[in-house]
A and B are shown apart, each in its own frame.
Chain A
């Protein structure tokens, strides 16, 4: 009997212990989401890199003044609650900060932090984001929660440089710990996620900040960006449950994700515009008719249908739906239709009755199916008399040469085109960058007007007038915007961002 009692006691004790363990486990179970990311992880300094992925991570951690809302097709507040431009002086911008935002350690957000951030972007030796503060002449804290930014000249697209870009770091932390330790040892942001760990080249681990005013309880408690450059690696990891979100699934692997037991696909239209650029500084690309011939020689519809399996939207003109300045009506006139007979005629009219030999270069693996697309373009050009020799340098070589203006004819994307002002100026306005030495005074004048015009309607008209010049001169064939597919675990929901920035508040776990 005593033996029986002791057995019962032991069983009860075991049951209780199990119950306690289970309760404790469920109480501490944290919702974790791992993102299989394509970009590199550079380090602790939030201004060190200028890639969409890192901007997104630092906006999660440190918070940004504002972000672009693709559903509303407009900028929405984050750390700034509002902003305005002085109607009497278009150079004067005022940002009002939220008063209820506290850092992860409980410090208040102040205008001094914003001014410090701008100065740091400008002066930090490691900064790769100086271009984003270049339009600014000065930034001043008017009061504890108001920042005034003065631009060098009227810049209607200033928010394109500010929103989703400026990660606001604390002045006090930087002053106290210095540049070596502030980001690395004492990261204290205002964003919804606190930085836990950075492993350069591998992953960034963040944890939901308990005192954050952003997000809600459905968001993941732990959010990790893990570098997985190889798409097969991302898909396999997603199917195995190792990661919950896999970035950029190429068309030919979509079925694998769709057929996965616990996975699905989620789509978004990218704001990256893909172009085939022709540098007029090189012969024969100084010949407008030859450039026009290229535009009519490429069957973009077939490439989208076959190689991209429908996962791209053809560009008519330089921009598409959701991008500032897009005009559906006017864009119809910007479509340079596939017409090989016309293209062949233009090649002859350009002074090449026996065809012409050119060199074309493409990155490999930088953009969706980039090399394959370029390979498909080569015979299309050959058909109209443009014999292209395709070069496939590795990305760093290609990118360095593009930036120096040493590439004559190349396939290239321009990301983060929400407001087309900076991108179209960067590539096509005289003297802005050496990438394409295209120059047209009419286009330059129009873009000067675009930069000054704050009225959305008038601005839209000017942007389209400028695009019309590009469509006539064809320094680039505007190809398409990719439709991006994200692989997502079934218990996770996310509206994939068109600009490549993933925000924890937009991720929900069931």
Chain B
């Protein structure tokens, strides 16, 4: 083996070109697990369908044709790939637009719940004492309600509508964020970097925003993925009960509810929205599970968390 300056230089060159690639691969490796790839693909498909619904939908999802009702899926051989429903609407178009609503509702619910839950959790844990007591009592009271029943009560009281539905779903979904955040904040408030910030004269608000909240984000992201899945299921359940968004907005839950009456004669009405809910929730759960494996230090150390 030669050890000339030239060979040393070339080795250094190789090392310098190889190192960044290795870091990137190293960083990427945990994300290349089957469940993350599968879950991510399904979520990407949901986002793709939802965002591009107006472009990729062959028909207006609300246009009815009473002369063309309950047509079976025609696949590539006819005008309606997945068939038509009981008032002659194109099911494929409604599936695409349904993805949009599922995405909007689930995304909004997760964001609002996250902001409320993480915020209150951080305050509760950081201040501890009386503040913590009152916030946790509130958490316990709201947590005592069965989630679907609470949502039904909110909708029954305020009426139907997209924002009311979101509010009904948020009503209890902020609690898991709050509980986890509070636990972490209780631990973080005694850490050296918080003491250091405090001794430098930083106010509580600044400490919470600059030092506590950033450390709560990873856990919040994991909770968010699972919350997204449950929000989609809850929206579908409420729409199934006729308590979701108004009927002119296509959702998978309401499509499933409409299709229930035709399950033995026109199976395609219920099957396709049912499959969409199934695969979306599966995708989000796989992704959430994968993210938890990556972010959970205990799983990292033990070497588990492989897909």
B86 near A307 (CB under 8 angstroms)? Answer: yes
Most buried by A among B69, B241, B263: B69
B34 within 8 A of partner (CB) = no
CB of A421 to closest CB in B, whole Å: 34
B66 near A256 (CB under 8 angstroms)? Answer: no
Taken together as a complex, chains A and B put the C-alpha atoms of A499 and B63 apart, in Å, by 36
Interface of A is mostly: helix
Taken together as a complex, chains A and B put the C-alpha atoms of A389 and B162 apart, in Å, by 13
A307 near B87 (CB under 8 angstroms)? Answer: yes
CB of A404 to closest CB in B, whole Å: 15
B261 near A394 (CB under 8 angstroms)? Answer: no
* Bitwise interface map of A from 301 to 318 toward B, beta carbon under 8 Å scored 1, else 0: 011001100000000000
CB contacts (< 8 Å) of B156 on chain A: these are 393-394, 397
B241, B246, B261: the one within 8 Å of A252 (CB): B261
A376 near B265 (CB under 8 angstroms)? Answer: no
Q: For window 239-265 of chain B, which residues contact chain A by CB distance below 8 Å?
A: 241-243, 246-248, 258, 260-265
Contacts known (A235-B264, A256-B265); A394 close to B66, Cβ less than 8 A: no
Taken together as a complex, chains A and B put the C-alpha atoms of A390 and B248 apart, in Å, by 7
B62, B69, B243, B264: the one within 8 Å of A256 (CB): B264
Q: How many A-B residue contacts, CB cutoff 8 Å?
A: 69
Q: For window 221-244 of chain A, which residues contact chain B by CB distance below 8 Å?
A: 231-232, 235-236
Q: For window 247-306 of chain A, which residues contact chain B by CB distance below 8 Å?
A: 250, 252-253, 255-256, 302-303, 306
CB of A293 to closest CB in B, whole Å: 20
B246 near A389 (CB under 8 angstroms)? Answer: yes
CB contacts (< 8 Å) of A253 on chain B: these are 264-265
CB contacts (< 8 Å) of B160 on chain A: these are 391-393
A364, A375, A376: the one within 8 Å of B242 (CB): A364
Contacts known (A252-B70, A306-B67, A375-B87); A392 close to B242, Cβ less than 8 A: yes
Taken together as a complex, chains A and B put the C-alpha atoms of A375 and B243 apart, in Å, by 16
* Bitwise interface map of B from 118 to 141 toward A, beta carbon under 8 Å scored 1, else 0: 000000000000000000000000
Taken together as a complex, chains A and B put the C-alpha atoms of A232 and B264 apart, in Å, by 8
B64 within 8 A of partner (CB) = yes
CB contacts (< 8 Å) of A423 on chain B: these are none
B159 within 8 A of partner (CB) = yes
CB contacts (< 8 Å) of A394 on chain B: these are 156, 241-243
Smallest CB-CB separation from A252: which chain B residue?
Answer: B265
A96 within 8 A of partner (CB) = no
* Bitwise interface map of A from 490 to 507 toward B, beta carbon under 8 Å scored 1, else 0: 000000000000000000
CB of A368 to closest CB in B, whole Å: 10
Contacts known (A256-B264, A375-B247); A302 close to B258, Cβ less than 8 A: no
CB contacts (< 8 Å) of B64 on chain A: these are 375-376, 379
A356 within 8 A of partner (CB) = no
Q: For window 205-256 of chain B, which residues contact chain A by CB distance below 8 Å?
A: 241-243, 246-248
* Bitwise interface map of B from 56 to 100 toward A, beta carbon under 8 Å scored 1, else 0: 000000111011011000000000000000110000000000000
CB contacts (< 8 Å) of A235 on chain B: these are 264
CB contacts (< 8 Å) of B159 on chain A: these are 391, 393
A376 near B87 (CB under 8 angstroms)? Answer: yes
B67 near A378 (CB under 8 angstroms)? Answer: no
Contacts known (A252-B262, A252-B265, A393-B160); A372 close to B70, Cβ less than 8 A: no
* Bitwise interface map of A from 335 to 369 toward B, beta carbon under 8 Å scored 1, else 0: 00000000000000000000000000000100001
B266 within 8 A of partner (CB) = yes
CB of A263 to closest CB in B, whole Å: 14
CB of B175 to closest CB in A, whole Å: 26
Taken together as a complex, chains A and B put the C-alpha atoms of A376 and B63 apart, in Å, by 10
A302 near B241 (CB under 8 angstroms)? Answer: no
Smallest CB-CB separation from A394: which chain B residue?
Answer: B242
Taken together as a complex, chains A and B put the C-alpha atoms of A394 and B257 apart, in Å, by 13
Subset of 16 A-B contacts with CB under 8 Å: A231-B261, A235-B264, A252-B70, A252-B86, A302-B66, A307-B69, A375-B87, A379-B62, A390-B247, A390-B248, A391-B159, A392-B160, A392-B246, A393-B159, A393-B160, A394-B242
Question: Which 9 A/B pairs are nearest by Cβ-Cβ distance?
Answer: A306-B66, A364-B242, A392-B242, A390-B247, A372-B86, A376-B87, A252-B265, A379-B64, A302-B66
User: Given known contacts A389-B248, A391-B159, what 8 new A-B pairs fall within 8 Å (CB)?
Assistant: A307-B66, A307-B69, A371-B258, A372-B87, A375-B64, A390-B246, A391-B160, A392-B242
